[in-house]
Amino acid sequence: MRSITKLDPTGSNGVCTACSPQMVKAKPSYHHGDLRRALLDAALVLVQEGGLGALSLREAARRAGVSVAAPYHHFADRDALIEALLLEGFALLASEGERALDGAGLQPRERLEALGKSYVRFARTHPAYFRLMFSSIEHCPPSAVEHVKARGGEAFVQLQQAIVALQQSGGAPEGDPSGLVLVAWSLVHGMAALTVDGPLGSEFAGFSVKGPALEALAIETFLALLDGSLHGKSTANTARLRAKTSRAK
């Protein structure tokens, strides 16, 4: 009976010789600790490099170093892969918002500012997710659309609650918060989009604001507009009161 020699995968310097590029190429397999995670990560890279059109299960499998059949253990088709990315992206956005709120203290103005910054920061840090989340919901299977919308609504509720709290503190005009929510969202989303796919994502000669200052710019502008609105309302009320007093005399 032949003896079996036990091979040591590491060389004398402790480097894994069994994991050389040549051996990985010669034997593609999915010995990932988490195949699903590996496929999602590969899909994000594809979206980052070539947009949604570059995404396919076959190419995600190739990038992950697995067989073309392996993805079907986790995703029925390309739409299912996109759905998983959307759900993960919206969950991550909501999580970033919660983290920002947790570190912002109790003042409504500071909490809204922190939330706005976290939105732009998310887009800068996770551009592939951001692109998918706001352009690809139509690619979901009909049965998944409501689920994705519900997950996406979590971040919207955070913003809505922050605006209402600011109104209740006297820091924003009273009334239906919908308009204020829409304006705040438009400002931070527009800044995020310009950062991810617009001129603010590269060196822009006419714009010197970068990094954290860029993250803060949109929501600080919104708060400045609110301050101006409240000041103008106060001035107008004072003028009306003076006019009434003058007529009374």
Q: List pLDDT tens digits, range 59-97.
A: 999 999 999 999 999 999 998 999 899 999 999 999 999
- Retrieve residue 164's tokens: 């209402």
CATH class of 21-75: mainly alpha
Q: Provide the token pair at 34.
A: 């988490």
204-226 pLDDT tens trace: 556 666 777 888 889 999 999 88
Instruction: Indicate the pTM of the whole model.
Output: 0.75
**197 falls in which pLDDT band (50, 70, 90)?**
confident
Burial of 28 (0-12, 13-18, 19+ CB in 10 A): middle
Query: In the chain, what are the domain boundaries?
Result: 21-75, 88-248
Assign a CATH topology to domain 88-248. Tetracycline Repressor; domain 2 (1.10.357)
Q: How far apart are CA 71 and CA 69, in angstroms?
A: 6
